[in-house]
C-alpha cells in the first residue's frame, strides 16, 4: 500500500481537515511538529468520539483508502470503516498510500480527546492545514505511561525540548 519514502503526513492531515474531523495529533508527529528531532514514520491521532465526528473520521479514512495494518499483510486488509467500527475499538493501526495512521481513542496516560484538547495547540502549516497538536507535556505523559522502549528512548529529548519551550515562553 505504501512504499519506502512515501510517508506524507500532510496528505493524511489534509484529509482529516477536509472532513472537519475533530482530533488531536499525538505521538511522534506531534513532537516533531513542535521541534523534536526524533524521527517518526506514522501519523498518530486521538479523535473525539461523538457519532457525528466518527462519521467524519470514517469518511476521511475511506478517502485515504485506509486498511488495517499488520506485519503479515504489508498492504493491509479491508475493514468496515464506519462509525460502528470506531465505537467498538480503542486503538487501530492503519496503512494508507501516505503511510501508517494510528487512531487511538484513549492514548496511554490520558483520558482521551477531552483530556488532550484542553492544552493542545493549533499549528499553522498552510492555508488549508491547521491541525491541533497535543501539548508536549501531554505527549511526554503518554510516552511515560506507554513505557515502550522507543518511547522511553525519546523521553530525554522531549523533556529537553519542553524545558527549552518553557524557557522561551517566560518573559
List the pLDDT tens digit at each of the 171 positions of the chain: 544 448 999 999 999 999 999 999 999 999 999 999 988 999 999 999 999 999 999 999 999 999 999 989 888 999 999 999 999 999 999 999 999 999 999 999 999 999 999 999 999 988 889 999 999 999 999 999 999 999 999 999 999 999 999 999 887
pTM for the model: 0.93
Sheet holding 67-68, edge to edge: 67-68, 91-96, 99-104, 43-47, 23-26, 132-133, 121-122
CB atoms within 10 A of CB 152: 12
- In the chain, DSSP assigns E strands to 23-26, 43-47, 67-68, 91-96, 99-104, 121-122, 132-133
**Domain range for residue 76?**
9-160
Q: How many domains does the chain have?
A: 1
Classify residue 41: in a domain, yes or no: yes
Domain CATH for 128: 3.30.460.40
Classify residue 84: in a domain, yes or no: yes
* Pairwise CA distance, residues 111 & 109, whole Å: 7
Classify residue 67: in a domain, yes or no: yes
Amino acid at each position: 500500500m505504501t512504499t519506502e519514502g512515501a510517508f506524507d503526513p500532510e496528505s493524511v492531515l489534509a484529509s482529516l481537515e477536509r472532513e472537519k474531523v475533530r482530533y488531536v495529533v499525538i505521538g511522534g508527529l506531534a513532537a516533531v511538529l513542535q521541534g523534536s528531532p526524533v524521527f517518526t514514520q506514522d501519523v498518530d491521532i486521538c479523535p473525539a468520539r461523538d457519532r457525528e465526528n466518527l462519521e467524519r473520521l470514517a469518511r476521511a479514512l475511506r478517502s485515504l483508502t485506509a486498511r488495517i495494518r499488520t506485519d503479515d499483510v504489508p498492504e493491509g486488509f479491508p475493514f468496515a470503516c464506519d462509525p460502528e467500527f470506531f465505537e467498538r475499538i480503542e486503538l487501530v493501526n492503519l496503512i494508507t498510500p501516505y503511510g501508517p495512521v494510528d487512531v487511538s481513542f484513549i492514548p496511554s496516560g490520558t483520558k482521551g480527546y477531552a483530556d488532550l484538547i484542553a492544552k493542545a495547540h493549533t499549528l499553522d502549516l498552510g492555508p488549508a492545514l491547521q491541525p491541533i497538536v497535543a501539548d508536549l507535556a501531554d505527549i511526554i505523559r503518554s510516552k511515560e505511561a506507554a513505557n515502550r522502549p522507543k518511547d522511553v528512548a525519546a523521553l530525554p529529548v522531549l523533556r529537553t525540548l519542553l524545558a527549552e519551550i518553557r524557557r522561551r515562553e517566560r518573559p
